[in-house]
Structure 1
Amino acid sequence: MGIKSAQPYINGEWITSGRESVPVISPYSGETIGEQILATKDDVENALAATFNAKKQVASIPSYQRAQILKKAASLLENEKERFAKLISLELGKPLKNTLDEVARSIETLELSGEEAKRLTGETLPGDASERGTRAIASTFRVPVGVVAAITPFNAPLNLVCHKIGPAFAAGNSVILKPSSQTTLIATELLKLLLEAGFPENAINMVLGRRQIAQQIVKDDRVNVISFTGGLVASTNICELAGMKKVLLELGGNASTIIHDDADIKRAAVMCARTGFSNSGQSCISVQRIYVHQSVVPEFTELLKEEVVKLKIGDPLLPDTDVGCVVDTNAATRVMDWINEAVQLGAKVICGGKQHGATVEPTILLNPPKNSKVVCDEVFGPIVSIIPYETIEEAIEETNDSSFGLQAGLFTNQMDLAYKVAHLLEVGGVVINGTSNFRLDHWPYGGVKNSGIGREGPRFAIEDMTETKMIVLQLPVEE
C-alpha cells in the first residue's frame, strides 16, 4: 500500500512538516509502513481553540444536514471498504476477516448516528402537577454540550472513533480527536473521508502524540465532555485531571462466560473459540474466564481444543487467517508472562502457550487459580481459561468477584435459570446462549464498577453529549 503519513489536522489544515515524526511499524511484519507526525503543545492549543470557536457553527447546522453528512460518510466508507480494512490489518495485525467486519460495523455506526441526528426530541411538561404551576407549561430540548474530546484505543481503531465522532456530530458538537498512537494511519484516512462527506473544516480537529497530548486536552476548560475508551490507569488519570467535566469511560473487563450442565456444549465450544481469539483477544468483552459445570468440563475442554487448533495463525492480510498478532512484541511478552505465571500456580496448558514475535498462539488454560493474572486482571490477549464450578451460585459469585463488570455470557436451556443468573450478575450486559463477546452497535454498551461510566451506541452516547434545556411559558391569569 506504500508509505503513508499520519498527520494532525488543526484549524482546517493538515500538518505535514516541521514537527517531530516517528515511524509507523506493522506489528506482524516488522516493516515500516508509514510515519506519524507528532503535534506540539502549541498545536494542541490551536486545535482546542479551533474546536471551541467552531462549536456555535456546528450547533447551527440543521439536524437534517448533519444526518445527510453522516450518511454520506457511511456511503463513502462503503465504497472504500476493502482499502480501509487492509490498512487496519497492516497497521494493527488484525486479520482481514475481522477488519472487513469492523469496517462494515463502522458504516452502520455512521448511518445510525445520522438517523439519531433527527431524533433529538424533548417533551412537554404541564405545570399543574403542582399547585403553583397551574398557569405554567414547560418544554424540554436536547442541546449540544459544545466541545467533545474523543480519546480512542487501538483495538478497534475505526469503529470506536466512529462511535465517538458520529454521535458527537449528530448532537451538534465540535470534536477534538486524539487517536491511539498505534493506529494513527487509519484515523487520518477516516478524517479525510469525513471532510469529503461534508464535515465543516473546524467541526473536527485531530492531534497525534503521546500521553501528554491527551492530558493537555483533558485539563482544558473549553472541553465539555471527555469520551474515552481505554484502560483503568489512564481513566483514573483522566478523572484526576478533568475537573468539572462530564467524563464517559468505556474501560476493560475480564469477561466471564458460564457453561451450565444442560447447555449445548458443542455450540458453546464453537462460539467460545470464535469469540475468544478474534483480534487475538484484544477486545474488552473477549471471552476470558469460562466457568464450566464440573460434570461437563472434560467434554467441553476437548471440544474447545478441537475448535481452537483449527484456527489458522498467520499473515493478517490473508483472507483465511483467523489469528494475527497482538499490537506489539511487548504486549506479546506480557501475555506470555501471564501464561507462565498461571502455569507456575498450577494451571494446565491445553494448547498454545508459545510466542512468535508479536504473535501468541491461541492458548487454553485449565483451572488457573483465582489469584492469577489471567483470572483477576484483563488479559487483552489470546488466552481463555476453563474454570470448573459445582453450583450455579458458585459461578455467579466467581463472576462477580471482580473489579470489572462489562459483559458476561451464559449457556443454558433453562429459561428460569437464565433470568435468575442474568439478574444476579454485576455487569452491564448479559448474553444468554452466547458468549460475552457479542455487541450490536445500536445497543447500549458499557459496564459497571471499573468497566466504566456511561453507555456507547449512538442513541445512548447522544444522551451524554447533549444537555436538557427547559423553556417555561407562564400563561396570564384568566380574568
Structure 2
Amino acid sequence: MDTIHEAACLVAGEWVTEGPYTDRIGPYLREPVSRARTAQSADIVAAVDYARRAAKAVARLAPATRAGVVARAAAAVTAHGERLAGLLARELGKPLKDGRGEILRVCDTLSVAAAEARMIGGEVLPVAGWGRGVGNTAITQRAPAGPVLAITPFNAPANLLAHKLAASFAAGNTTIVKPPPQAPAVSTALVELLLDAGMPVEAVQVLHGGGEVGERLCAAPEIAVVSFTGGVTAGRAVARAAGPKRVMLELGGNAATIVCEDADVTEAARVCARTGYSNSGQSCVSVQRVYVHRSRFDQFADALTAEVKALVVGDPADPATDVGSMVDDDAAERVVRETAEAAAAGAAVTTGGSRSGSVMAPTVVLAPPREARVVREEVFGALVVVLPYDTFDGVVEECNRSPYGLQAGLFTHDVRRIVTAWRELEVGGLIVNGSSNFRLDHVPFGGVKDSGIGRESPRWMIEDFTVTKTLMLKGLTIWGDQ
C-alpha cells in the first residue's frame, strides 16, 4: 500500500495534527489514501475569532504584494503538478489525464488572479454634473469585504479551491477553507504551496469535516462572504445557515447540447464523447442531454456510441485511461439504477449501463421519455442521453424545462440560431460548436435558476469579495466650481 497522506487542520496560524481523524478510502484502490484531522467545536470558535483579528493585517497588504504571492504559487503548482495530479487520481479516481488538466487550470487560475489583484482600483465620480455636487469630489475604492468562507466540492477540488482562495486573497481578505471530505490531501497540499509562496499564515485556515462543520462556519457572524460550490440541496442549506450575509452559490446542472442539422455530426459526437465522460461525468456542466435534429439522430447516435466504446476505462493512474472511477460505489450504483429505469421506460441503451465497484461503464441512453430521471434530474455520472428534436424553437423550449441553467452547447453554422439560442436559452453561458463542458478560467462562469447565484472567475469573484467604499471631499473639487 502507498503512503497515506496526512491532512492536518490549519487553525489560528498552527497546523493541528492531534485529535480525531477520518480516513479517505480511494474509490479505485479501495484502500485508505489520505487521513484528515477532523475539526472540532473549539477549532471552529478559534478559527472564526482568528479570522476576525487577522482581517486587518491581510487587508493592509498592497495589491502588488498579494499578486506576487499568487504568481509564485502558480509557478510552484507547475513544479509540483505530477504530485498533485497523482493525489487526485488516488483520492478521487480521477484519470491522470484529467488530473493533469485540472492542475494546468489551477496554474491559469492563479496567474489570472495575480493579474487581477494588480487591477483593483476605484473611480472618481462625476458629482459636479449635478447642482448639489458642485464644489465637492467623490472617490470610490474596492475594499476587502472581510473574512471569507470557501467551501469546495470533490469533483474539481484543486481548481475550485484556487478560484476561491486566490480571488479572496487578491481582494485582501483572510479565508477559511472547508475542503471536501473526499479530497482532503490535495486541498491541503495546495494551501501548503500557497503558504510556501509567501501567503501570510493570517490569510488562510483549513478546517476538515462534514456538513456540520460547514454549517457552523456559515452561521458565524465573523464571516462576511460565503463562497460555496456543490449540490443544490447543500447549497440551500448553506444559504439558510448563512442568513443575511453575502452568499455566492455555484450549484448543479443538467447541461444540454443541441446538434443542428447543419452541424458536423462526426465532430459533434467526438466532442460529446470526450466531454461527457471526463471525470466520469462528475461535472456540473458535463454533457448530459444531447438534442439532435431528427434527420441526423441515427447518424449521431451511431457515431457517439462508437466513440464511447473506444474510451479506455480503468486505472486512473494509467496515463492512457479516459474514464476512471466515480467518487464512490453509491454514486456508480445510482447511475446504474437510473439507466435501468430509463430502459424499462422504453429507452435504448447502446453501451454501458453496468459498473465494476465504483467504475461506471460509460453509458449512452437513446430517446428516453422526457420525464425520465436521466432527462429531468442531474445525473452527475458517466451517462449521456440523446434525444431527437424537430424544430429549433421547440428544442430551445425543451432545454429550458430544466430547473437548472448553468451552461449549454450548440453545434451549428447558422448565425441566426446562435443569436436566438444566446438570447432565449436560460443559462449562464453558451458554447458554440462545442459541448456544454468547456470552460476558460478567466471567463465568468455561473448559472441561473437552481444552478446558483454569482459568477466564478477571479475578476468577477474579486467583485464579490470586495465592497465599494466612498470618500466624499466637501468643499474640495477637482472640477470647476462656478
Normalised-by-shorter TM-score class = over 0.9
Q: Which residue is equivalent to 1:425? A: 425
Query: Within 2, Cα distance between the matches of 1:312 and 1:126?
Result: 61
CA contact 1:181–1:208 (8 Å) conserved in 2: yes
Matched, 1:34 2:21: no
Note the residue ranges of structure 2 that are not aligned, 5 or more in a row. none
CA contact 2:137–2:476 (8 Å) conserved in 1: no
Query: Within 2, Cα distance between the matches of 1:189 and 1:284?
Result: 24
Query: Within 1, Cα distance between the matches of 2:267 and 2:450?
Result: 31
In the TM superposition, 1:177-192 aligns within 5 A as 177-192=177-192
Query: Within 1, Cα distance between the matches of 2:248 and 2:34?
Result: 32
The percentage of aligned residue pairs carrying the same residue is 45
Task: Give a deviation string over 1:379-431, Cα, whole Å, max 9, x none.
Answer: 10000000100101111011000100000000011112211122110100001
One-letter code of the match for 1:233?
T
Q: Which residue is equivalent to 1:173? A: 173
Query: Within 1, Cα distance between the matches of 2:201 and 2:241?
Result: 29
Q: Which residue is equivalent to 2:10? A: 9
Q: Which residue is equivalent to 1:317? A: 317
Q: Which residue is equivalent to 1:336? A: 336
CA contact 2:25–2:32 (8 Å) conserved in 1: yes
Give, in angstroms, the shift of residue 34 of structure 1: 2.6
One-letter code of the match for 1:127?
V
Q: Which residue is equivalent to 1:221? A: 221
Task: Give a deviation string over 1:212-246, Cα, whole Å, max 9, x none.
Answer: 10000000100000000001111111111212210
Give, in angstroms, the shift of residue 39 of structure 1: 0.8
One-letter code of the match for 2:342?
A
In the TM superposition, 1:280-319 aligns within 5 A as 280-319=280-319
Task: Give a deviation string over 1:425-471, Cα, whole Å, max 9, x none.
Answer: 01000011110000000000000000000000000100110001111
Query: Within 2, Cα distance between the matches of 1:187 and 1:276?
Result: 25
TM-score by length of 1: 0.98
Give, in angstroms, the shift of residue 91 of structure 1: 0.5
Query: Within 2, Cα distance between the matches of 1:123 and 1:226?
Result: 27
Task: Give a deviation string over 1:243-278, Cα, whole Å, max 9, x none.
Answer: 221000001100000001110101100000000000
Note the residue ranges of structure 1 that are not aligned, 5 or more in a row. none
Query: Within 1, Cα distance between the matches of 2:121 and 2:434?
Result: 34
CA contact 2:24–2:181 (8 Å) conserved in 1: no
Q: Which residue is equivalent to 1:76? A: 76
CA contact 1:21–1:35 (8 Å) conserved in 2: yes
Query: Within 1, Cα distance between the matches of 2:20 and 2:128?
Result: 64
What's the secondary structure of 1:158's corresponding residue?
Answer: helix
One-letter code of the match for 1:391?
T
Aligned residue pairs, count: 478
Matched, 1:247 2:229: no
Q: Which residue is equivalent to 1:389? A: 389
Task: Give a deviation string over 1:350-400, Cα, whole Å, max 9, x none.
Answer: 111111000110000001111111111111000000010010111101100
Query: Within 1, Cα distance between the matches of 2:293 and 2:372?
Result: 20
CA contact 1:280–1:323 (8 Å) conserved in 2: yes
Query: Within 1, Cα distance between the matches of 2:51 and 2:181?
Result: 21
Query: Within 2, Cα distance between the matches of 1:340 and 1:54?
Result: 53
In the TM superposition, 1:342-361 aligns within 5 A as 342-361=342-361
CA contact 1:126–1:136 (8 Å) conserved in 2: no
Query: Within 2, Cα distance between the matches of 1:316 and 1:430?
Result: 30
CA contact 1:75–1:107 (8 Å) conserved in 2: yes
What's the secondary structure of 2:46's corresponding residue?
Answer: helix
Task: Give a deviation string over 1:86-106, Cα, whole Å, max 9, x none.
Answer: 111111000000000100100
Q: Which residue is equivalent to 2:413? A: 413
Q: Which residue is equivalent to 2:275? A: 275
Matched, 1:261 2:261: yes
Give, in angstroms, the shift of residue 476 of structure 1: 5.7
Q: Which residue is equivalent to 1:131? A: 131
Q: Which residue is equivalent to 1:62? A: 62
Q: Give the 4+ runs in structure 1 shifted more than 6 A.
A: none
Give, in angstroms, the shift of residue 48 of structure 1: 1.1
Task: Give a deviation string over 1:68-117, Cα, whole Å, max 9, x none.
Answer: 00011111111101111111111100000000010010011111111111
One-letter code of the match for 2:82?
E
One-letter code of the match for 1:6?
A
Query: Within 1, Cα distance between the matches of 2:27 and 2:174?
Result: 33
In the TM superposition, 1:116-155 aligns within 5 A as 116-155=116-155
What's the secondary structure of 2:138's corresponding residue?
Answer: strand
TM-score by length of 2: 0.98
CA contact 2:11–2:207 (8 Å) conserved in 1: yes
Task: Give a deviation string over 1:122-160, Cα, whole Å, max 9, x none.
Answer: 111121222211112211100000100000000001000
CA contact 1:290–1:384 (8 Å) conserved in 2: yes
What's the secondary structure of 2:172's corresponding residue?
Answer: coil
Query: Within 2, Cα distance between the matches of 1:52 and 1:379?
Result: 40
Query: Within 2, Cα distance between the matches of 1:87 and 1:172?
Result: 30
One-letter code of the match for 1:2?
T
After superposition, the Cα gap between the structure-2 partners of 1:368 and 1:125, relative to the gap in structure 1 and judged at 3 Å, is same
CA contact 2:141–2:468 (8 Å) conserved in 1: yes
Query: Within 1, Cα distance between the matches of 2:242 and 2:304?
Result: 45
CA contact 1:50–1:205 (8 Å) conserved in 2: no
CA contact 1:276–1:287 (8 Å) conserved in 2: yes
